[in-house]
């Protein structure tokens, strides 16, 4: 069994609308179990046990409290299944769909104790994933024709979950970790003594070990790009992508100057994929995307996520009444 498979007979990754990215060691079921365990501790849900009859069954509805892209539906089913496989879950939307404020988009029926026990863990995953997916969708649309990527700036322990949300929002995944792509960054370059030495070392390492994987190098100046291109013109290299770091210059009026980035893209002239990094926001990404870069990477997709407000309510009419009073529904 791979690190992200589920043992649920009801849920398979093949049936999911958007499958999670692959990872050789990540155990998604263990992450779910840990999230549930930290909530119930060693006493269980004492409030539920004190207020709700053990055998009571209820129906609870998922309610969107703001507009956005919903994500985490498949993961929510996995959580419910981990708590109680007999719970019946139905959805009117799927991962990646747009939901508007006030929409009831799913429901779960079964033993009240288990629904309430799963509630917060389900919502924590869904709200975070939906927030990531919503921002990713906005960034991906604005970046076109460039493709939007996240980075490794994810919540510890939630790497796969965060990157799954990016896929649901219409983005692409950058490398999963340190193991699946060579990314030669500024510190590697400084230690190696320049971009040429760093690339030589990587090519030698991969050849000696008969490894085949993508290789990207970060460049910070046009001179570094020229050095990379000169090396590649004379040597067989595994290089596939050049990162153009901080070549988007912020201006005092809030705009950005992308002239250096455009010059870099023209210099590379399609010989390698290109990736713009630095000063990427929802306001600047469209202008960056028009420069001809292949990819635009943004750490903000996952490190500065604003959760999408979603609730799970048994008395939905009262919840809507309160929501209208507080202007959240």
User: Looking at 66, 82, 119, 218, which residue is catalytic?
Assistant: 218
Residue 190, annotated as binding a ligand: no
Residue 45, annotated as binding a ligand: no
Phi, then psi, of 92 in degrees rounded to 5: -100, -10
| Residue located via tokens 């322990």 | 157
Answer yes or no: 287 catalytic. no
Q: What angle do CA 26, 27, 31 make, to 5 degrees?
A: 110
Residue 298, annotated as binding a ligand: yes
CA 183/CA 175 separation, integer angstroms: 9
- Treating both helix axes as pointing N-terminal to C-terminal, what angle do 28-40 and 73-83 enclose, rounded to 10 degrees? 60
Contact by Cβ (8 Å): 129, 168: yes
Residue 245, annotated as binding a ligand: yes
Residue 194, annotated as binding a ligand: no
Residue 102, annotated as binding a ligand: no
Residue 289, annotated as binding a ligand: no
How crowded is the C-beta side of 323, counted as CA atoms within 13 Å? Answer: 21
User: Looking at 7, 33, 88, 185, which residue is catalytic?
Assistant: 185
Residue 277, annotated as binding a ligand: yes
**How many residues are given for the chain?**
329
Contact by Cβ (8 Å): 40, 46: no
Cβ neighbours, 10 Å, residue 251: 8
Residue 153, annotated as binding a ligand: yes
User: Looking at 82, 203, 245, 309, which residue is catalytic?
Assistant: 245
DSSP 283: T
Burial zone of 149 (CB within 10 Å; 0-12 exposed, 13-18 middle, 19+ buried): buried
User: Looking at 19, 94, 107, 153, which residue is catalytic?
Assistant: 153
Residue 218, annotated as binding a ligand: yes
Answer yes or no: 94 catalytic. no
User: Looking at 107, 120, 313, 328, which residue is catalytic?
Assistant: 120
Answer yes or no: 65 catalytic. no
Residue 47, annotated as binding a ligand: no
Contact by Cβ (8 Å): 65, 323: yes
Structure tokens at 45: 């849900």
Answer yes or no: 245 catalytic. yes
Q: Point out the annotated binding site for substrate.
A: 120, 151-153, 175, 185, 218, 245, 277-279, 298-300
Give the residue numbers annotated as catalytic, written as ranges. 120, 153, 185, 218, 245
Q: Point out the annotated binding site.
A: 120, 151-153, 175, 185, 218, 245, 277-279, 298-300
């Amino acid at each position: 069994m791979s690190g992200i498979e589920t043992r649920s007979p009801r849920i398979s990754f093949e049936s999911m609308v958007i499958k999670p990215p692959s990872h050789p060691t990540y155990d998604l079921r263990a992450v779910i179990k840990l999230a549930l365990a930290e909530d119930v501790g060693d006493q269980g849900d004492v409030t539920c046990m004190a207020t709700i009859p053990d055998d009571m069954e209820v129906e609870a509805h998922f309610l969107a409290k703001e507009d956005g892209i919903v994500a985490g539906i498949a993961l929510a089913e996995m959580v419910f299944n981990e708590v109680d496989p007999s719970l019946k879950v139905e959805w009117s939307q799927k991962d990646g769909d747009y939901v508007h404020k006030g929409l009831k988009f799913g429901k779960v029926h079964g033993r009240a104790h288990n629904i309430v026990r799963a509630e917060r863990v389900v919502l924590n995953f869904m709200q975070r994933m939906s927030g990531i997916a919503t921002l990713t969708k906005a960034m991906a649309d604005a970046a076109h024709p460039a493709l939007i990527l996240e980075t490794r700036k994810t919540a510890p322990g939630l790497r796969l979950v965060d990157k799954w949300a990016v896929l649901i929002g219409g983005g692409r995944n950058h490398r999963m970790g340190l193991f699946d792509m060579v990314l030669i960054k500024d510190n590697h370059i400084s230690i190696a003594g320049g971009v040429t030495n760093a690339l030589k070392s990587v090519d030698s390492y991969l050849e000696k070990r008969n490894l085949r994987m993508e290789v990207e190098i970060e460049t910070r100046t046009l001179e570094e790009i020229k050095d990379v291109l000169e090396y590649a013109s004379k040597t067989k290299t595994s290089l596939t992508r050049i990162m153009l770091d901080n070549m988007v210059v912020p201006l005092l009026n809030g705009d950005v100057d992308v002239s250096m980035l455009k010059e870099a893209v023209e210099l590379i002239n399609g010989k390698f994929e290109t990736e713009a990094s630095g000063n990427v926001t929802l306001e600047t990404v469209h202008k960056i995307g028009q420069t001809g870069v292949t990819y635009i990477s943004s750490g903000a997709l996952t490190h500065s996520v604003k959760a999408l407000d979603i609730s799970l309510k048994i008395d939905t009419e009262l919840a809507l009444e309160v929501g209208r009073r507080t202007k959240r529904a």
